[in-house]
Amino acid sequence: MKPGIKPIYLLVGNIVAKRYFGPNKEIKNGTKNFSGGTKVYIIDWYPGMCETIVVVGLHRKTKRIISVCIKANLVENLRIKNVYKKHIIRKVKERHGEFDQQFIKELAEEMLEFIPMWKRNFKNFSDESNIKNLHSYPIFNLSISGIFKSLKKLVIKRKP
């Protein structure tokens, strides 16, 4: 590790090994961009949608580090880890600019708390009947209010 790069805490997970795909429920291994079991670093999310996260990981064909948006249910085994890899830290800086280490750690803790709730309560979120009954899910209101409370506490420190 180079002296200028400090480790950061990130939410880490693995891509699901098998998943159902399409109307015929074909079984696929991994996703289009990642093989099953690939370690991915979750660097951001879209809390208003309650289904999409931004991950960084090793592409299945090119073997390069990529950053893509995927559905939260495609990631399993979530945990917080200290990350030392400069390529991953560089992708976080591209996404968040200059950041406070405490901000990234608190973001990872919030995501670890809420993403499993999304996976439990919004399995078929894209289904029209679930979209119509969105407000009948009590957990939706809890998670959104909790997210906004935590975002008020977090302050991003950027260079002028």
Secondary structure in 3-state letters for 49-106: CCCEEEEEEECCCCCCEEEEEEEHHHEEEEEEEEECCHHHHHHHHHHHCCCCHHHHHH
pTM confidence score:
0.73
> What pLDDT, on the 0 to 100 scale, is given for residue 3?
67
Q: For 52-105, what is each residue's pLDDT tens digit? A: 999 999 999 999 999 999 999 899 999 999 999 999 999 998 888 888 888 889
- Helices 138-153 and 101-121, interaxial angle, to 10°? 180
